[in-house]
Chain A
Amino acid sequence: MRSQTRKRFEHGESEYQPIEGQIVWIDDHTDDDKLFVIDLPDGVALDHEPGQFVQLFVPGVGEAPFSIASSPTNEGPFELCIRAVGNVTNAIHDMEAGDVVGIRGPYGQGFDVDAIAGEDLLFIAGGIGLAPLRSVINYALDRPGEFGELTTLYGCTEPAEQLFPEELDSWAGSDVMDYRETVDEVPEDQAWDGNIGVITSLIPPLEFDPESTVALVCGPPVMYRFVIKALREKGLADDRIYLSLERNMHCGRGLCGHCQLNELYVCLDGPVFHYPTVRDKEEAEV
């Protein structure tokens, strides 16, 4: 756990001071989603844990929180997968490689990789929820032998919404990970020969040992309750489930209150929560 007590800053400095990040590469994923590869000055590492987030500052537009999509095992620049849905995200979608943004963080609690070491990992991602999970999926893939069997379930509304298509192909062809995907529907202009149905439809056919499996889940709010129900039906105990939750962090530091979830602050106590911590909290919507 990261300590809440941070260093005292020098004259004029504060934790609101961003580091200058330079966009070094932009990859179009879907009509609305782009992957931004961001380098920090002197190639310094972001030094994050899988599942943590940063506050990204776009000069003249504003600041917003984004989960880090890359694994800390991937040295050098880090990656953010951003969907254009508001002022900040639309503005960054208009930016080009070479442009400068401000970065604060990393913030929050990520996936506790020590607690899940040695376990079989079942990743369950819905839509853009794949971005935060990718940081821990790739972490596990980059550390062979540290975890047991790896399984990833990925559900999207439609085929055109799939993120990281090249990685999905490599996961699908991989013998180190069981990768399964589904879409809710297939519009006439899109091709798809895989499973059709909501993400929970992928869970009953799975064969996994509930005694040695840990589920890591991230997706839209509506998804959690149903996924957890399906996992419970497979015999998975609540304390073997981890969730990454979304809230609108403004400060990232447990002050502004926007991300408060009952008595918890998602920016300090999350965004990744052990399910038993939030199970009985109405505002978690899980």
Chain B
Amino acid sequence: MKEKTKSIKVDYLARVEGEGGLHVKIKDGEVTDVKFNIFEPPRFFEAFLRGRMYTEAPDITARICGICPIAYQMSSVHAMENALGAKVDGQLRALRRLIYCGEWIESHALHVYMLHAPDFLGYEDAILMAKDHPEVVKQGLELKKIGNELVTLVGGREIHPINVKVGGFYKTPDKKDLKKFAKKLTWAQGAAHDMINFVSKLKFPDFAPKYEYVSLRHPDEYPFCEGRIVSNKGIDIAIEEYEQYFEEQHVRHSTSLHSSIKKRGAYSTGPMARYNLNFDKLYPVAQEAALKAGLKEKCDNPFKSIIVRSVETLQAIEDALKIIENYEQPEKPSVELTPKASRGCGCSEAPRGSLYHRYSLDDQGLILDAKIVPPTSQNQKIIESDLWKFVPKFMKLSHDELTWKCEQVIRNYDPCISCSCHFLKLTVERE
């Protein structure tokens, strides 16, 4: 038999945030190499956070990513409060959930309508898709806008909000402004049901690898900022124990580190993991909508992450409505904090997955050391492992179709490449 070597190359991945590429090698009908290549320039956040004041962390780390700044702000404020021994509770805690709901709605709507749905329907982008499906795209944009408006209402601005503070907020919103906004969320409820219905009718490749899923789990809520880190293969740890179980590696083809579970390897974080580990914590309407859309309580097909994202959008809208309904403006916008030599960590659920932060502070509150593990580093290994499994199954597709599908395998994870290239510290790597 003659040797046949083919390769799939995508120099610049579109419709993801940041700069990445893909290289798959096939020899004699077998995949011999897969590289999800991240060439985003490193930005060294963990390095220059050293020597900055703990109060600056939410503003600075927000700049790691323009798509999920709230996730960075939430993980950092929780880590700082953990270090300084402060508890932010009651309405302030509820407001934090509320602003996070806004980010989930905005980010999920952006991903579902503008970045992901065009793949399923064969359009290069959402603008072309809008020519044939104007109502769908318009509704999607409206939903996204409502998410943005919610972030602005609590945070002052949609990208890099200015109102998030270690200890709470600089200013809390008026009850009447939130009540007024609830009307829009009521519209959004209907739109989210349409969204779920729309994505449930897409065509999904038959593909369902087995994963280890990792997400937060909270006793009473679908997870946002608090809880334990759990997996479907037995991990159940406090956030503080994260670094005992997870590690990062440096590989040549990526300026972003690869995370893995120590001695075990790849895992998946994000909507699929949250859904699989927390179905019981979804509101009944979200559970119902999910089942009606054809999902089971567990879902292993990463292409169906588009349905899961839509279900989570509904969940976030329901949650936001509930928070607004019970809102009373707190007396003080934040709790008092006293700097001390300390160490603390925080983890929250960014729309695309768990985001871990850890800081050490000196007695003045200056940052001595920072570690940040974004969701995209955590998902990189699983993305590559999906490609190893996907390509052999779909080899019969034409070159162009297979290339496009491989891109989609990556977009399933909504990778946020800028986020993953902030690093300073690297650990072992052997070839």
A and B from one assembly? no
